[in-house]
Structure 1
């Protein structure tokens, strides 16, 4: 069968690549055309458009790039018509994907959504579009099933979280080799800095993350470079030779880290699944933050706290994200007693996520119903 998959971010590329591998296992004749990234291409997808060309973040940036966005939408529709897939699969990226889903449904293509838009966080009215335009939804967070089925009467499949497989199936690495290859101190414990994957958020996050380094000279701070950004972009943050840098090896970095400072997003959950104590950070531009504050209805911004329904990891948001607060909270997670409590909560979190096999479960359902 022919599958057309649309992902628009680095996390979607990861999940999309594992879905492609699973689809090819379940369907020997699978032909996949996709929007995504290098991982989806390496998994066997015919890459149409890279997510690097679609990463617009924040109200102002989206507004200033409307022309490019509308051109991408028009091109996507034409490409789907030319490919004539048996099913179109959407991965998160709701602003773009829900527009394509409406068109696809009107043109009688089967529509599947893998990894739901976070309508439980904001703009819940999008449920009307999902119920109208999506034939099947595969959710990865345990509370999403109740949200869709009990609150909105829309049946969905809970398949578990694909990050459990992505992390659990990694081959073991040698820490000494990793440190030597990346010019890191061979003895100091590592504090990983995960500032995000988009230029705007990295610029806002890294300056404040790096502002605490002088208070923790017994540790090696290492920046996780995003695959969507060139090394030259990070040069201004690497003036201090004591700051380490690892490009496109975030999982390797986390596997050898003692603690982490993490920008809110999927990375908070990845860090938790690696059992690394963390402080969650978020700072947006003033206008985008004011808009978000009025439409987001959640008590927390990190997936860890949302899934656990309590504050497991500390969140420093907007003005609270400063050198003083970050120093205090980082000191806490370097302490033995606080770390033990985090480890216990992380193990409970993993149980709530449903165990291994999310990509295989989703691929099986998609292939059987396409």
Structure 2
């Protein structure tokens, strides 16, 4: 589940945090200078923690909506996520980016990568399972491929990647049980989850084209983006929802965890992984999110799981992997 727009190529999540339209092969990670401080935890442990955080995000959204309106869940998520990155900026004494143009692009990025998809997923989970929402999130690479075919990417699609697009969307049909007329699935909720995933893809294309050379640190850019997204939701939420008459503890804790961990801490882990092992390896988190989301929904929420859901999810992930494949470079 995507939470922010780092300057260097990185996987987007989310939600989510999932690669979007194919871009040029990202550079290898820069080796740390001599004497640089090494992370306390091995990157594999941090990778596993990131998979768990983003995989459980869909369960937390579902629990949060049991006590609060979807927009309130999203606003709370943004507030706590912004607080985490703001605290990091204060500790590091980093400044926010400068320039009206940069802040204008960050405003659009905040809408496409945070405010809109987070809200759509929250509304979607009123009528669909967290399992289905997590699987829909995995379609972001497929939407990225659609944008690539629409000439929004500099990469020329290969046959393998176009085939991956077809395989991926065939997997979506399997998940939804198309041969049964999509019985048992709410069309509106499913559509909102798919549109949220497409919003991630559009947002990452926009970010790469407008903010790749904006300057400033990744944390500063991400914190500014989350701050703008929080402001957008703070303006809309009071107009659409009424102030809660009570504050149920469990849904409130779910919203706090969703924001602080799924939006704040997850980005910091993600950026550290990209810097240490490179974007290619860090992107693999994409393929674990729906698996964890499915397991969490079934085990902890008691969501029903038909045979076509895991089978379709595997087909979606296979298609997503094909859309990200690139031809090998010839040896000099």
Q: Which has the higher helix share?
A: 2
| TM-score normalized by the length of structure 2 | 0.27
Structure with greater strand share of residues: 1
Structure number with greater CO (CA < 8 Å, separation at least 6) is 2
Q: Which has the larger radius of gyration?
A: 1
Q: TM-score, normalised on structure 1?
A: 0.25
